[in-house]
Amino acid sequence: MTKSELIEKLSDKHELLSKKESEAVVNVIFDGISSALVQGDRVEIRGFGSFSVRERGAREARNPKSGEVVEIPSRKTPFFKTGKELRERVDAL
């Protein structure tokens, strides 16, 4: 499902919301999650899952074309862990 499909589904399900209002709602939610992660906070949506930031340590890797060893610096990356209810719903398929 893409963002535009999510907006479409939201506006279809709630007839009081126009597509522009549905888009604003979706953008507010995504912006809120993004802002929290940028600040290093954790976002938990009960029954769905939680978003957090994990730090990947520095490491050495090889360039597959030349075989040269390349140093990769540490970095932070977003991480999503599914909630129990979502896992069970997906597993039931």
Place of tokens 């999503």: 80
| pLDDT (average), residues 18-31 | 96
Residue 47 tokens read as 């029954």
34-87 pLDDT per residue, tens: 999 999 999 999 999 999 999 999 999 999 999 999 999 999 999 999 999 999
Residue 40 near residue 10 (C-beta atoms within 8 A):
no
Q: Which pLDDT does position 36 carry in this prediction?
A: 97
Measured distance CA(68)–CA(65) in Å, rounded: 8
CATH code for the domain in which residue 54 is found: 4.10.520.10
Measured distance CA(68)–CA(62) in Å, rounded: 6
Find the DSSP H helices in the chain: 3-13, 19-38, 84-91
What pTM did the predictor assign?
0.79
Q: Which pLDDT does position 7 carry in this prediction?
A: 95
Q: Which range marks the domain in which residue 34 is found?
A: 3-91
